[in-house]
Homo-oligomer: A and B are copies of this chain.
C-alpha cells in the first residue's frame, strides 16, 4: 500500500550538474532557479524542494521570486527535531553547503533558543551512494565512522539526516548510533505535505513523470535499485541550461 493523493507529480533531478552540495550559494541559487523555471514550464502548482542543499541556501530567494507554494525540508525537520530531543543537543549531517549555511541551527534556535546544534559536513556520502556503494560497504562504514565521531562523543540524542541521499544509510547509522533518534527529511516533508494535500492509502502509486538533465543506463540501474517506482521508459532527459 502507498500513501497517495490525486496528484500528477513531475520530478526533476539535475543529474548533469550534481553534486550541488560542494558549490557556492550563488551557483546553487542560479541552478535552483533554472530547476524551478523548468518545473513551472510543466504546469506545476506547487514545488517541493527535496534537496537539503537548495532548501538550506536559497529557499527564501525562490519563495520571494515565484508565486506558487515552495516547500523546503529545513523547517519541518527542525520542528520535528526540537519536539523529540531530550538533551536539547541536535546533530545535523549535511553537505558542505548545507552546514556552512547554518540554516538548520538558525531555524532550530529560533524554534527553541535553548537547543544546541552541531553541524557535520559529509562530502563523501553523496559520491558513495551515487556510485552504488552499499550501505554496509567497508568504505561507507569507515567514512560514516569518522563523520559520526562528534555524535558518539557528545550528548547529541537527535540527528537530522539533512540530505536527500542520507536516508539510504539509515540502517548503518542506526547500528552505529543505537541510542540516537534519526530524523529523515523525506518523512517529515511528506507529513508536512499531507497537511496541504490529504493523502489516502491506495494500492496505486501516484502518476510520476521523471525528468533528468543527464541519464545513462547506469543511472537507471542505480535508481531502480533504490526506488522501484522508476522505470526506464518514464525518464525523460531535458537540457536544463535552456531554462
Contact = CB atoms under 8 A, between A and B. Distances in A.
A229 interface: no
A139 interface: yes
Contacts of A130: 22
A83 interface: no
Interface residues of A, number: 26
A27 B128 CA distance: 22
Contacts of A26: 214
B124 A139 contact: yes
A82 to B, nearest CB: 30
Contact of A131 (B124, B138, B213, B216): B124
A97 to B, nearest CB: 9
Given A139-B139, A142-B142, A215 B24 contact: yes
A124 B213 CA distance: 22
A13 interface: no
A216 B24 CA distance: 6
A23 B17 CA distance: 9
A133 to B, nearest CB: 8
B124 A128 contact: yes
